[in-house]
């Protein structure tokens, strides 16, 4: 295990960390702050890597794939894995008396890891992350503009609601490329090909009608998951990832109860995944949002114990890519970030946006900043600005509507600032009929593509993440800072 001792006083340093998967926190913090870990163990599987959790300690910071320590002069140290296809790279920085100890542990076959002292941390982070992207054949196709059903219809989505929005979008000439149906159409988790009654139709009927309107049809799947009530589980209980006691391992608690995940070291599971992706592609969905992907990489008892977690995950994702086809557009979500490079076209880089700013009780009292909130989404995606070298980043949707939302004017514009800063995919979920003139204007602004921004500095921050970019500054604090209101974003004057 490589280990380094830095001769810098811990009081002088900041640390840049990135959590394991899409929804795990990424931060820029004083090294002596405490890295929080959710109090509820059931959140560990869904928001983190249970095998390498945030430390929960002051002065001890854990990060996946990449870690940086920043001195007050902007120089410092950067470590980065140079391959993540079958190995997880775990970094830890630990304040230790007058110095700092950094360790790097690998879970999986040995891979090359970079560790550098540099006068320019921002530049080194970008260069090493680009190296990793190149070595893993990162896919970075042109970004797309997506309407997604989740953030207003949630699980009550209907075939008609999607089509009504698509028709209105066409009438108003809104520049969406993709109309993507999210969770709520399927009979059960795992039973993707059978409709749920309340959806009011069959998902198979959607692509032709969307294509007629000039949109690319998109579909959400959580392809590795199976509910205990599903036909998939009933027919193949032996396909599930297991716990030490031999029974299927519960891997999360959405959908009102526990669910299981497929063991992707089984060849018949890989066949099933390939067929699933091929089938929905054949129905006319070339755009797939593949969600809750973390399941296949969880610690557990696998059919083939010689396959490591990262490799098992990658085998599952590879089967989906093979079934969907090389030219399908795959968006990963709830996914181990670096292990997905080269297989997905785009990746969610933060927790879900929500029509509210902060879920304070969950974040501060329960230590869980991976739950849905606009603050959590902005905070995390900003600290991952460099990951555009790995795929098209998806910082999640704009919320332009004023109805059915608790966001204020300032907060809506901060969300717009996030999209503009991160670049990558653009998405919206607003029911288009709810948008008045200013709402439509804000939506159109959010669909304007931009190139990813660079931080201006990592030595200052208005709120625990990277907030100072070349085009503008974010204030994620609850008090004014630098002349910017709480939760605000201000563009720099030219
Ligand atoms: C569909 C949704 C949407 C959304 C995804 C994902 O950790 N959590 O509490 C948590 C809740 C919801 C969630 C992710 C994490 O949402 O990100 O875009 O597709 O699933 O069920």
Pocket test for ligand 1, best of 148, 352, 427 (most atoms within 8 A of CB): 352
The 10 Å CB-count burial string (b at 16+, else e) for 105-126 is ebbbeebebeeeebeebbebbb
Model confidence at 348, in pLDDT bands (50, 70, 90)? Answer: very high
For 186-241, the pLDDT digits (tens) are 999 999 999 999 999 999 999 999 999 999 999 999 999 999 999 999 999 999 99
For 76-115, the pLDDT digits (tens) are 999 999 999 999 999 999 999 999 999 999 999 999 999 9
CA 414 to centroid of ligand 1, rounded, Å: 21
Give the residue numbers annotated as catalytic, written as ranges: 291, 352
Nearest atom (ligand 1) to Cα of 182? 19
Task: Return mean pLDDT, the chain.
Answer: 97
Assess whether the C-beta atom of 185 lies below 6 angstroms from ligand 1.
Answer: no
CA 247 to centroid of ligand 1, rounded, Å: 26
Model confidence at 372, in pLDDT bands (50, 70, 90)? Answer: very high
Assess whether the C-beta atom of 183 lies below 6 angstroms from ligand 1.
Answer: yes
8 A C-beta contact, residue 176 and residue 213: no
Tokens of 309: 């977690």
**What string of DSSP letters covers 147-159?**
EESHHHHGGG--H
Model confidence at 253, in pLDDT bands (50, 70, 90)? Answer: confident
Assess whether the C-beta atom of 372 lies below 6 angstroms from ligand 1.
Answer: yes
Assess whether the C-beta atom of 313 lies below 6 angstroms from ligand 1.
Answer: no
Q: What is the mean pLDDT of residues 133-154?
A: 96
CA 427 to centroid of ligand 1, rounded, Å: 15
Considering the domain delimited by 145-446, tell me its CATH architecture. Answer: Alpha-Beta Barrel (3.20)
Q: What is the mean pLDDT of residues 122-134?
A: 98
Question: Please, where in the chain does CATH 3.20.20.70 lie?
Answer: 145-446
Q: Considering only CA atoms, which residue is closest to atom 16 of ligand 1?
A: 352
Q: What is the DSSP letter of 21?
A: B
pLDDT of 493 strictly over 90 = no
User: Hey, which bits of 35-138 come out as E strands?
Assistant: 60-64, 66-70, 76-81, 88-96, 99-107, 113-118
CA 352 to centroid of ligand 1, rounded, Å: 6
Q: What is the DSSP letter of 34?
A: B
Pairing label, strands 392-394, 346-348 = parallel
Given this model, what pLDDT does residue 494 score? 66
């Amino acid at each position: 295990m490589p280990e380094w001792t830095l001769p810098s006083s811990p009081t002088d340093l900041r640390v840049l960390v990135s959590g394991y998967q899409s929804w795990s926190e990424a931060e820029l913090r004083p090294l002596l702050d405490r890295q929080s870990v959710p109090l509820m163990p059931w959140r560990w599987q869904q928001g983190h890597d249970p095998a390498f959790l945030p430390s929960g300690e002051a002065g001890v910071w854990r990060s996946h794939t990449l870690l940086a320590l920043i001195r007050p002069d902007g120089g410092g140290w950067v470590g980065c894995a140079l391959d993540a296809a079958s190995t997880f790279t775990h970094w830890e920085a630990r304040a230790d008396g007058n110095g700092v100890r950094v360790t790097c542990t690998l879970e999986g076959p040995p891979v090359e890891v970079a560790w550098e002292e540099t006068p320019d941390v921002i530049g080194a982070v970008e260069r090493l992350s680009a190296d990793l992207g190149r070595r893993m054949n990162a896919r970075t196709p042109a970004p797309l503009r997506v309407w997604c059903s989740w953030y207003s219809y949630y699980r009550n989505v209907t075939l008609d609601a999607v089509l009504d929005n698509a028709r209105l979008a066409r009438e108003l000439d809104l520049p969406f490329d993709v109309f993507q149906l999210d969770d709520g159409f399927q009979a059960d988790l795992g039973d993707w090909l059978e409709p749920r009654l309340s959806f009011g139709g069959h998902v198979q009927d959607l692509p032709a009608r969307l294509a007629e309107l000039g949109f690319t049809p998109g579909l959400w799947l959580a392809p590795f998951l199976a509910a205990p009530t599903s036909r998939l589980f009933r027919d193949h209980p032996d396909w599930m990832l297991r716990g030490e006691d031999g029974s299927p391992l519960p891997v999360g608690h959405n959908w009102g109860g526990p669910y299981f995940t497929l063991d992707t070291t089984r060849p018949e599971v890989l066949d099933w995944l390939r067929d699933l992706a091929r089938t929905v592609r054949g129905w006319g969905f070339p755009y797939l949002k593949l969600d809750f992907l973390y399941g296949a990489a969880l610690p557990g008892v696998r059919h083939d114990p010689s396959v490591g977690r990262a490799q098992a995950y990658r085998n599952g994702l590879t089967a989906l890519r093979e079934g969907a086809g090389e030219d399908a557009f795959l968006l990963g979500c709830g996914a181990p970030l670096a292990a997905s490079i080269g297989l997905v076209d785009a990746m969610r880089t933060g927790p879900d946006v929500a029509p509210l700013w902060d879920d304070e009780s969950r974040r501060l009292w329960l230590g869980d900043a991976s739950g849905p909130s606009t603050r959590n989404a902005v905070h995390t995606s900003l600290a991952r600005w460099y990951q555009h070298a790995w795929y098209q980043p998806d910082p999640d949707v704009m919320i332009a509507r004023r109805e059915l939302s608790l966001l204020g004017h300032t907060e809506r514009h901060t969300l717009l600032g996030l999209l503009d800063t991160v670049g990558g995919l653009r998405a919206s979920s607003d029911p288009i009929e709810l948008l008045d003139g200013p709402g439509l204007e804000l939506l159109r602004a959010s669909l304007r593509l931009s190139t990813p921004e660079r931080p201006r500095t990592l030595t200052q921050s208005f709120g625990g993440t990277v907030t100072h970019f070349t085009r503008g500054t974010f204030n994620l604090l609850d008090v004014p800072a630098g002349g910017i209101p709480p939760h605000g974003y201000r563009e720099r004057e030219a």
